[in-house]
Chains A and B, each alone.
Chain A
């Protein structure tokens, strides 16, 4: 029987769903689906999802140069054949009607003019003008005069090329990713506690844990696939329970056995209360503490990352300081003893029985616990402290680094880990956890990159928020933003961002596939190839590195971020970028361009490329636009050079597999040694580095090798008040975040008609009592006003997010209502990550 395409697709769809659910279907059904596969001209290939940090693998079906079908990848260990609802629209994000296809420059009378209108220009003209501006800024201000703002959505090689171009090429550490806005606090806490970034466990903990505690994460909407794995365990494992902590009620509470709404900032008290409970009830693991943990405390009164002249910074005794000092166990016990059940319940407004139930869970030696968190904990003016306080609980009880016992920091972007963190595209970092301020680390980078001694600038660059302040102040004059929409996603847009972009001294370049709020605020817009339009690699939240091939071609004259960076580097000679003195140390570089020195250096261009180089196991041939253009396999050369940082640097345990391996597998979790991935780090038997670095270790023992003495830091930090709290005039808390249907600023999901239709407007979710007190009905048009600005939208008192009295929630996907205008640019003083979860507003009828 010949099936119609429709029958075929439907059979395929049902068979795939049944397989993913683990439900057997009649054989004929499956056989038909398989037997007709050859009749279809659809080519299937794996590609990781473009959205969150989960790292689901998707099978993309391409026909006639377009992706026409997608399927959850049944061979993926992450998503096991399923996708979330955003996966339905994954391929549609490339086909928005307003895709940019050519560079656009502001011009008047045929010339660049900051006050001009956007006109189409060639890449040649675009880079001519941009290079002129960048060279002028370098000449006037030195390396600090230019900066680049990248992304946790960059591919690994986009980020690596950018780091090399900025740090080695222009000798500027003014490179930061938008991941600063989402993960920096997590990074800070990992480095302080363990000396190596990223979680010790893996998603496999979702099947090994008895209980789950969500600390500021709405996994049901933001990480639906991981949530479905968690739901499976909750429903099938005897005694399994789920605890959810948040400042408002969201969809994850539907599964909660113990749901807790706390007053913003009092999570600091709750975590310390749990530690206190564990100590009071002698439920700590003394042997584990003695052998594997150093107890420390952090300096306090550290300010809020505001401008130095802000009264709060002037008042803070230790503004921005993070120094640690030792303390005894008894001193620690004394420090947390203040956080009693009564005290914590009173201030957090969480009923005592709920708090005690949570504390008992952590204290129970027979319960394996996975703690999960995302932005609720990271976007917090005490984010590093708060991350650390959760590690404290796991360290106190020894519930760490083994199957099911797992403090797990989730990520929000597909390669926040793989690119921003592992490649180190931060203002203070170099690849593989190295930092610019360490002479030894700089030396390693200079050797691998074949640079003259002292090329790399030891001075930490401007972080995300500081870059905006420096643009406003005219201290940094050129800024290049790739792969994110910071003018919508950054804080305090009107006061601290837009003035810098429109400052006549400054030249702003934005690379994007769409005319986002950022793009239209810039001076030059560069049209960018999207993820499936280039060969790429992402690293997800469980240390899994995943590759994909270029599936389709980008539209018009769009070019990938990688192409743009490499091509732009041709515009600078080493003399212009480095100065004669540095070039004199390596005279063989005289007269060369940065492109020649950075990318045609005998390493990045070491792998030849010709038509047919990239093939899958079915002999399908894929394009690779960058490699064709530059004449060598650029992605491979960059990745292989990057890998050297993992093995030649002084920080062990970052090893990834060779490039070609990743095109054949569904990703591998680093460290990868002898082809084997690592599911749990720091424990002998799971992690090969434990024995290597501590030969006497016994099986099953822990060794935190990121720290010199093999011990993790338990770091006491107290409660400190938030940067601002509701007052007589501004009487409500505002929290921002995502909704299921949209991803971040909506620059992609808003182009999908169905998603746009499902949730077209950012509403203000409000408590019915707060609405009534203000005389507002559901659906009423209101003004939300903060000390920084105001926006207008409608009230929703019955939505999926149910806020307690005194708090409202507005998502940030809506370009027509820039909620971030309302936010204060207060950051964690240690991680420099903005607090997007609390500021003050008032609401009045519009």
Chain B
């Protein structure tokens, strides 16, 4: 289980379309936004990989100027699960 939240800074004129893109992503919820283009987003998904991919994908949405992680929580990570080069 992985949960995280982000503040996404969107170009204010493109708030609508970016919000739609965000909401179309699995596990992503838009909780609040303001007219300066700040959007509060959570990602909730059983897969860590999915959450991190999604974060990267959010930062690549056209109209997103910056995305900042605020909170992350992950359960079930056992030692050694991480990548071994």
Task: Give the interface of A toward B (CB within 8 A).
Answer: 5-6, 9-10, 12-14, 16-18, 20-23, 25, 61, 66, 68-72, 81-85, 87-89, 92, 95-98, 220, 224-225, 227-228, 231-232, 235-236, 254-255, 514-515, 555, 740-741, 750-758, 815
Contacts and interface: CB of A to CB of B under 8 A. Distances in A.
Contacts of B28: none
Interface in B33-80: 33-34, 36-42, 44, 48-49, 51-53, 55-56, 59, 65-75, 77, 79-80
Contacts of A89: 52
A235 B36 contact: yes
B20 interface: no
B84 interface: yes
A69 B12 CA distance: 31
Contacts of B1: 6
Nearest to B39: A21
Contacts of A750: 83, 85
A14 B49 CA distance: 20
The 7 closest A-B pairs by CB, nearest first: A754-B52, A97-B84, A13-B5, A82-B68, A17-B5, A13-B71, A753-B83
Nearest to B77: A95
B84 A227 contact: no
A9 B52 contact: no
Given A13-B42, A89-B52, 8 more contacts: A6-B3, A23-B40, A70-B72, A85-B69, A88-B4, A95-B79, A98-B85, A752-B83
28 contacts: A13-B72, A17-B7, A17-B40, A17-B71, A23-B38, A66-B77, A68-B73, A70-B71, A70-B72, A72-B70, A72-B71, A85-B56, A85-B59, A92-B77, A95-B79, A95-B81, A95-B82, A97-B83, A224-B68, A225-B68, A254-B65, A255-B65, A751-B85, A752-B83, A753-B48, A754-B53, A758-B52, A815-B85
Contacts of A88: 4, 51-52, 55, 69, 72
A13 B70 CA distance: 7
Contacts of B7: 17, 20-21, 82
Nearest to B37: A235
B22 interface: no
B67 A85 contact: yes
Contacts of B66: 220, 224, 227-228, 231
Nearest to A94: B82
A92 B48 CA distance: 12
B6 interface: yes
A752 B82 contact: yes
B80 A97 contact: yes
A612 to B, nearest CB: 28
B52 A72 contact: no
A586 to B, nearest CB: 49
Contacts of B33: 23
Contacts of A95: 77, 79-82
Contacts of A9: 3, 73
Contact of A14 (B40, B55, B74, B80): B40
B83 A13 contact: no
Interface of chain A: mostly helix, strand, loop or mixed: helix
Interface residues of B, number: 47
B56 A741 contact: yes
Given A69-B74, A228-B9, A231-B65, A10 B44 contact: yes
A92 B34 CA distance: 33
Contacts of B79: 66, 95, 97, 555
B6 to A, nearest CB: 6
B68 A72 contact: yes
- Residue from the set A13, A18, A81, A95 with the largest chain B CB neighbour count within 10 Å: A13
A296 B25 CA distance: 59
Contact of A21 (B40, B65, B71): B40
Given A13-B5, A14-B40, A69-B72, A23 B34 contact: yes
Contact of B70 (A10, A68, A82): A82
Contacts of B59: 85, 740
A85 B82 contact: no
Given A13-B71, A88-B4, A92-B82, A755 B52 contact: yes
Given A22-B38, A72-B68, A82-B68, A13 B73 contact: yes
A61 B82 contact: no
A10 B34 contact: no
Contacts of A10: 3, 42, 44
B84 A96 contact: yes
Given A20-B7, A72-B71, A88-B72, A14 B82 contact: no
Nearest to B38: A21
B6 A17 contact: yes
A838 to B, nearest CB: 29
A334 to B, nearest CB: 44
Nearest to A29: B31
Contacts of A82: 7, 68-70
Give the one of B31, B67, B83 with max A CB within 10 A.
B83
A17 B31 contact: yes
B23 to A, nearest CB: 15
Contact of A16 (B5, B51, B55, B84): B5
A21 B82 contact: no
B5 to A, nearest CB: 4
A61 B75 CA distance: 12
Residue with the highest number of chain B CB atoms closer than 10 Å, among A10, A17, A72, A740: A17
Given A220-B66, A227-B66, A235-B12, A69 B71 contact: yes
A753 B49 contact: yes
A228 B66 CA distance: 6
A42 to B, nearest CB: 9
A410 B4 CA distance: 29
Contacts of A227: 66
B69 A96 contact: no
B73 A17 contact: no
Nearest to A800: B60
